[in-house]
Amino acid sequence: MRFAAHRMANQCSLTGFVENIDDGRVRIVAEGETRVLAEFLETLQTYGPGAIHRIERVESPATGEFSNFTVRR
């Protein structure tokens, strides 16, 4: 999942990261234009690898701290 999200985020010119969480979930922090973020989320839900059981979406102002999109852990 992490590498597919990484590829999709780079195709969308998003910045941020994707990482595994110890409890088995995946966390994605992404910054970009609102429309592009919505398309990214829809693509993950529709075409993402494996079964995506639930997506919890939390919106907050962009921090600008990311210069690219990376895979962590």
- What CATH number does domain 2-72 carry, 3.90.650.10, 3.30.70.100, 3.40.50.1220, 3.90.550.10? 3.30.70.100
**How far apart, in Å, are the Cα atoms of 27 and each of 23, 34, 63?**
11, 18, 17
Whether residue 29 has pLDDT greater than 80: yes
Name the β-bridge partners of 72: 19
- Examine the residue annotation and report whether 2 is marked as an active-site residue of this protein: yes
Catalytically annotated residue among 2, 27, 35, 57: 2
Tokens for 19? 């990482």
Query: Edge-to-edge strand order for the sheet containing 26-31?
Result: 26-31, 15-20, 69-72
51 pLDDT exceeds 70? no
Q: Please give the average per-residue pLDDT across 22-30, as a whole number.
A: 90
* Whole-prediction pTM: 0.86
Active site residue 68: no
The mean pLDDT value for 10-14 works out to: 95
Domain coordinates of the chain in residue numbers? 2-72
What's the 3-state SS for 32-54? Answer: CCHHHHHHHHHHHHHHCCCCCCC
Q: Percent of the chain, pLDDT > 90?
A: 58
- Average confidence (pLDDT) over 28-38: 94
The catalytic residue among 7, 10, 20, 73 is 20
